[in-house]
Structure formats: structure tokens, C-alpha cells
Amino acid sequence: MAYWIKILYERSTYLIDLDSISAFTNEPNKKLTFWLPNSSQPIILHAGGYEDTYKQVIEYVTRRMTRAGDRDRWICISYDRSEWYIDLNSITSFACESNGRITFWLPDSMKDIVINPHHNSEAYKTLIGFIKKNTGYSLP
């Protein structure tokens, strides 16, 4: 099912299916970023400059995070001084270092996320559980 929105962004009009977006980041300064599917182009919405669109996307993310069918796959991670909302079903590889840190790469953004079991234990536990349930393998 698609959830299309129309965004006027940097002198262009975009039609974007938000259901196809695999990750959003919300920074403390009310800057929301997501990456267009099949590209590494970010869309950066500031609450002040794109207030209506910013609000619409935040409401969408909130619904995804709380919808019964999505709660097991969408997680919120505090990382790099921002809140990251990530669809774990879109992640296609995980790496575990000898010190226990888990790395995964966000599709479309070329961004890696490194979760340390000591600094972000809640996200780490969520990742370990997701990996075991969905791949049948254990990390570390």
C-alpha cells in the first residue's frame, strides 16, 4: 500500500511514497531527513521552512512506529545526537565486531549505523532480537 505526499522542495515538486522510505532522522533542531528511494539524495525538512510538510511526515512516522503490524520492524534509535526511525526489514546486512558492536547500512543513504552494546543497550537488544528472529542466526 502506498502513502503518497507532494513536497515542494528546493524549487522542485516531488511526489514521494513514504511507505518506500526505509529511514528517517529527526535532529534536535527540528530538522527531519530522509533519503529518496533508489538514490542517495536526501530530503531535509526544517520545521520553520517546510512546516506543513515537516508536520505531515512526523505524523506519518509516528503512525508507522505505533501501528500494530509495524512495531516489530520499525525501531527508534538515539544515535549521533538524533532520533533515527528505521525499518529493519529494509536492512540487508549486519556486521558484528569482536567488541560486540553491530553495524548495519541504511539503504538509499549510504549511511552506516554502529550500535555499541554499552552505549545504546536498548537498541542493541532490539537488534539482536530482530536478527535472531528474522535470520535464524545469532550475533555476536
Convert the pLDDT of each residue in 57-80 to its tens digit.
999 998 888 876 666 788 888 888
| Whole-number Å distance between alpha carbons of 128 and 110 | 22
Distance of CA 7 to the CA centre of its chain: 19
pTM to 2 decimal places? 0.87
Q: How confident is the model at residue 48 (pLDDT cuts 50, 70, 90)?
A: confident
To the nearest whole number, what is the mean pLDDT of the chain? 89
SS3 118: coil
Q: What is the pLDDT of residues 93-107, one digit of tens each?
A: 999 999 999 999 998
Contact criterion met (CB below 8 Å) for 27 and 44: no
